[in-house]
Amino acid sequence: MINIAVIGAGYVGLTTASCFASMGHRVVCADIDQDRIAALNEGQVPIVEAGLSELVRSGLEGGLLTFVVGAAAAVADCEFAYLCVPTPQGPDGSADLSYIRSVAAEIGPLLPTEAVVVNKSTVPVGSTRVVEEVLGRDDIKVVSNPEFLREGSAVHDFLNPDRVVIGSADQAAAFRVASLFDPLRAHLLITDPASAETIKYASNAFLAAKVSFVNAIANVCEAVGADVSDVIMGMSYDRRIGSEFMKPGPGFGGSCFPKDTTALIRIAEDAGYDFGLLRGVIEVNVAQFERVVEKVEAAAGGSVDGITIAAWGLAFKARTDDLRMSPALEVIGRLRARGARVQAYDPAVGPRPADHALDGIEVCADAYGACDGAAVLVVLTEWDDFRRADFTKVADLLTRPLRVVDARNLLDPAEMRRYGFQYTGIGR
């Protein structure tokens, strides 16, 4: 049985800790948030993530998973210390390594001899060296093992990875980390730290570029009178293009694509390369928020000033409650800035008085409450519940004429027209 310390009990740390425990490793997971740790010790998982509660509870019951406050309390017996703390966007666009540095400084004097420290947080090229320097220990190797899970399917993605990437200057340390993943039988790529760190940013940037590309194609479709759904289907049959990450929408968001694309531009710039292509990806994305706002304005008759808008969706995508950099909040914020009153509903997001992200938005108890007296319905997050809504009831609650802006192309335009709606989608 291998002893692993996981530092950070957020989306990545909690998933990593509970999945490693489910694979038979003994895991101590630490966070500085005392309330979070108290809840986790009771088996209460503070985030919406499919399958995570079950794994946390079975880990606790089987004695393989424990939660402690503070990194120092987690590392005493560890053979591996996984760093899963935030790396937010700093003021100059680069990744802020202060959380990583502070954990490394805290655990440096406490790590057992020859433990391996693993960067699982998304960190710029050169960060293994930074952690080594802060740890100040010759006997400790630092290895990069970036994470590729998606929120909403984090547990599934961790346990069924497309690949496991390990970057290390020390082959023995790389093989030790690789052995942790033996039960998963995944494709394994062992490389140097700079390549591993670059793989993580390049993968997120490529996926973000795909989303911006289809959003740009959707805009072309609108201009030339083509249907983006058919265009994408026609492209997707080409196996070189594929069907994943080909859904047009209100722009990409979340805690990673926005910061990681910006950080990669910065990494390239610092190394003397102007990554103009990636700047274009971000520009298309920001323009897409505005396009959705303009569609709502047009549906409302030219202005949303003084108008009530029903917004379906607050999270940055379906199957998560994460509001970080949510395109839904971006669109709602812009509508409010133009005088709209917004009534919103999201199946995973209730009122959060402590979270200022929702300030000024009336968060409703259900999808119908959000529609009550609203002039335009805008669909911002692709929850299946919205597709299955009772549109006769929705039509009764909205004011006339009935208008829907479907920023996720979630609804069937023909069906919506049969209900009497003026339907506006993306690229169709």
The helices-and-strands tally (H runs, E runs) of the chain is: 16, 14
Q: Which does 193 bind (CB under 5 to 8 A by kind): ligand NAD, ligand UGA, none?
A: none
Q: Angle CA(16)–CA(19)–CA(23) in degrees, nearest 5?
A: 130
User: Omega into 193 within 30° of 0, i.e. cis?
Assistant: no
Q: Does 382 bind ligand NAD (CB under 6 A)?
A: no
130 binds ligand NAD (CB under 6 A): no
Using rule CB under 6 A, residue 121 touches ligand NAD: yes
Name which of residues 176 to 195 contact ligand NAD (CB under 6 A).
none
Spatial CB neighbours of 162, under 8 Å, sequence gap ≥ 6: 148, 186, 187
Taking CB under 6 A as the binding criterion, the range among 97-105, 108-116, 163-171, 272-280 that sits at the site for ligand NAD is 97-105
Q: Whose CB is nearest to ligand NAD?
A: 10
Retrieve residue 61's tokens: 């019951």
Q: Which residues of 100-138 are buried (b: 16+ CB within 10 A; e: fewer)?
A: bbebbebbbebbeeebbbbbbbbbbbebbebbbebbebe
**Residue whose Cβ sits closest to ligand UGA:** 256
Say which residues have a Cβ less than 8 Å from residue 166's Cβ, sequence separation at least 6.
Answer: 143, 144, 145, 174, 177, 178, 188, 189, 190, 191, 196
> How many residues make contact with ligand NAD (CB under 6 A)?
27
Q: Judged by CB, which is closer to ligand UGA: 108, or 258?
A: 258
3-state helix, strand, coil in the chain (%, to 5): 45, 15, 40
Q: Nearest approach, Cβ of 319 to ligand UGA (angstroms)?
A: 9
Residue 223: what residue type? Answer: A
Nearer to ligand UGA, 206 or 273 (CB): 206
Q: What backbone phi and psi angles, to 5 degrees, belong to 420?
A: 95, 10
- Considering the candidates 19, 84, 256, 364, report the single residue annotated as catalytic: 256
CB of 106 or CB of 269, closer to ligand NAD: 106
Residues facing 363 on adjacent strands = 344
Say which entry of ligand NAD, ligand UGA, none residue 7 contacts (CB below 5 to 8 A, set by partner kind).
ligand NAD
Q: Please choose which of ligand NAD, ligand UGA, none residue 304 contacts, taking the beta carbon within 5 to 8 angstroms, the exact cut-off set by kind.
A: none
Eight-class DSSP state of 244: T
Which residues have C-beta within 8 Å of that of residue 214, sequence separation ≥ 6?
228, 232, 245, 246, 247, 248
3, 102, 153, 203: which one binds ligand NAD (CB under 6 A) = 102
Using rule CB under 6 A, residue 33 touches ligand NAD: yes
- The site partner of 258 among ligand UGA, ligand NAD, none (C-beta below 5 to 8 Å per kind) is none
DSSP code for 50: T
| Binding residues for ligand UGA (CB under 6 A) | 122, 147-151, 204, 207, 211, 245-247, 249, 252-254, 256-257, 316-317, 327
**Least distance between ligand UGA and beta carbon 410 (Å):** 11
Strand partners, 228: none
Binding flag, residue 66, ligand NAD (CB under 6 A) = no
Whether the link from the prior residue into 401 is cis, omega within 30° of 0, is: yes
Query: Are the CB atoms for 148 and 110 separated by under 8 Å?
Result: no
Q: Would you call 84 a catalytic residue per the annotation?
A: no
Distance of CA 125 to the CA centre of its chain: 21
Residue in 340, 172, 315, 188 with CA at minimum distance from that of residue 253: 315
Element (H, E) at 348: none
Pattern 137-176, ligand NAD, x by CB under 6 A: ----------x-x-x-------------------------
Mask 338-377, x = binds ligand NAD (CB under 6 A)? ----------------------------------------
Report the residue from 4, 5, 6, 13 that binds ligand NAD according to the rule CB under 6 A: 13
The entry of ligand NAD, ligand UGA, none that residue 33 binds, CB within 5 to 8 Å by partner kind: ligand NAD
Q: Which of 6, 103, 155, 379 binds ligand NAD (CB under 6 A)?
A: 103
C-beta separation of 51 from 15 below 8 A: no
The binder of ligand NAD chosen from 17, 22, 31, 75 (CB under 6 A): 31
Q: For residues 375 and 341, what is the distance between their CA atoms, to the nearest angstrom? A: 10
Residue 87 sits in the site that holds ligand NAD (CB under 6 A): yes
Q: Which is nearer to ligand UGA, 95 or 173 (CB)?
A: 95
Binding partner of residue 316 among ligand NAD, ligand UGA, none, CB cut-off 5 to 8 Å per kind? ligand UGA
H-run or E-run covering 28:
strand 26-31
Q: Assess 255 for contact with ligand NAD (CB under 6 A).
A: yes
* Contacting residues toward ligand NAD, per CB under 6 A: 7-13, 30-33, 36, 71, 84-87, 99, 102-103, 121-122, 147, 149, 151, 255-256
Known catalytic residues are 256
